[in-house]
Amino acid sequence: MNIAFLSNDVEVQMGGVGMVTSILVKNFKKKFDAKCFLFYDNESPNPAIIFDAKFRIIEDMDEESLRNFINSNKINFIIDQGVVKVNRVILRRVSNSENSKIISVIHSKPDLIKVTPSYKSLRWDFKKFGIAKKIIVLLKILFFPIYKKASNLKYIKWKRDIYDNSDKVVVLSNYYIDNFVNLLHLKNTLKITSIGNPLRFNSFFDKEKLNEKQNEVLIVSRLSEPDKYLSRIFDVWRIIEQDHRTDNWRLTIVGGGSDEPYYKARVESLKLKNIRFEGVQNPFDYYNRAKIFFMSSAHEGFPMTLLEAQQMGVPVIAFNNFESLQELVIDGYNGFVVGPKDINSFVQRTRKLMLNDELRITYAKNAIDHSKNYTIDKILDKWENLFNELINEEKK
């Protein structure tokens, strides 16, 4: 079996889609004895050496060169990770001529247009940008209904292009299937299936050591306010710090991003004491010692950080802003899910876990057990079923 990924060039230390691609490539090779190839747009300065060969693909690509690459490497499946601009009509035509199947993966919330662009994100951009870009952003704000409609139409056209030129579309959760169907007004779900992301770490936290964790709440996130809404967490933490029963707890933030200066200024203006910014780090040791994990994102696809936290015995408290959260966090079992803007409930659930260690340990054990639904073996089984389904369809 030979598989090509259509994605950004995968780097050695990369999160998100790049990390998922890397995990799948390594394990496809082990389980299926597969050769794995990469169709990419721009060369990375620090590429991961995991592919058997690479082919640079651009929007106005040479069709014959692409056909020769697919043919000479006998590529059976092309997995489009949805992050590279490409002429999918040409890709589809070439793949059909070479009997290759295209599987497109939607790594985000499919109906992202419901939450972005928004007035909030545009106002945020206006604050940050220089004069030239401010003018463009201001025009978008002034004519927001027109801009929003045009943006939505462009997004839907992009997703329709993906759907029409794929043999199968993969969303990251069952909760996203109807989401995608409704976005494109599809008549059925025959071309759509769901496969979640796999666990990142090779082992699970030892349940016998859950009482050894530190009084630490953890956030692992890119520091970008329009997407991650960390300002809400600071509102939560301000109330937490007013309760002297939690004086010995700290909030640790791992990650970097353009809004780090704003967040640090916000923490200082609120006079918050027990918050630490750690920058970009390998999060493993932080998961290993933390007792609680916070998520405040405005939208996500199938966040690896929630899988990582649960695998390491860290119950999650999250604002309910995206559908796959219902699959990952079972409210009252392995964590808590609260309303999108319900600061008070978020505070109450946090205190509940901080002040009741027996409950926190129960949730942590449940989190570890729940994360086992996403072991690489279980995810590979789903991919194998999908490959076999497409092979059998070809034989009919």
Cβ partners under 8 Å of residue 41, min gap 6 = 8, 9, 56, 57, 58, 84, 85
Residues 304 and 166 in one domain: no
What is the distance between the alpha carbons of residues 6 and 10, in angstroms, rounded to a whole number? 11
What digits encode the pLDDT tens for the residues 9-51?
887 666 788 899 999 999 999 999 999 999 998 888 888 889 9
Residues 72 and 120 in one domain: no
The answer for 107, left when phi > 0, alpha when psi is -120 to 50, beta otherwise, is alpha
Q: What residues form DSSP beta bridges with 105?
A: 170
- Helices then strands (H, E): number in the chain? 16, 13
Residues 134 and 67 in one domain: no
What is the distance between the alpha carbons of residues 335 and 303, in angstroms, rounded to a whole number? 15
Residues 238 and 296 in one domain: yes
Say if 148 falls within a structural domain: no
Residues 313 and 218 in one domain: yes
- Please tell me the total count of domains within the chain: 3
What is the distance between the alpha carbons of residues 51 and 24, in angstroms, rounded to a whole number? 11
Say if 147 falls within a structural domain: no
Residues 231 and 357 in one domain: yes
What is the distance between the alpha carbons of residues 28 and 363, in angstroms, rounded to a whole number? 33
Q: Which domain holds residue 178?
A: 2-107+154-198+375-395
Residues 162 and 281 in one domain: no
Contact by Cβ (8 Å): 36, 67:
no
**Nearest residue to 253 via CA among 286, 285, 284:** 286
- Looking up tokens 């990419």 gives 40
Residues 72 and 121 in one domain: no
Paired sense of beta strands 275-279 and 250-254, if any: parallel
Residues 218 and 366 in one domain: yes
What is the distance between the alpha carbons of residues 285 and 276, in angstroms, rounded to a whole number? 15
pLDDT in tens, the chain (396 residues): 999 999 988 876 667 888 999 999 999 999 999 999 999 988 888 888 899 999 998 766 789 999 999 999 999 999 999 888 888 999 999 999 999 999 999 999 999 988 888 888 888 888 888 888 899 999 999 999 999 999 999 999 999 999 999 999 999 999 999 999 999 999 999 999 999 999 999 999 999 999 999 999 999 999 999 899 999 999 999 999 999 999 999 999 999 999 999 999 999 999 999 999 999 999 999 999 999 999 999 999 999 999 999 999 999 999 999 999 999 999 999 999 999 999 999 999 999 999 999 999 999 999 999 999 999 999 999 999 999 999 988 766
What digits encode the pLDDT tens for the residues 56-93?
987 667 899 999 999 999 999 999 998 888 889 999 99
Say if 80 falls within a structural domain: yes
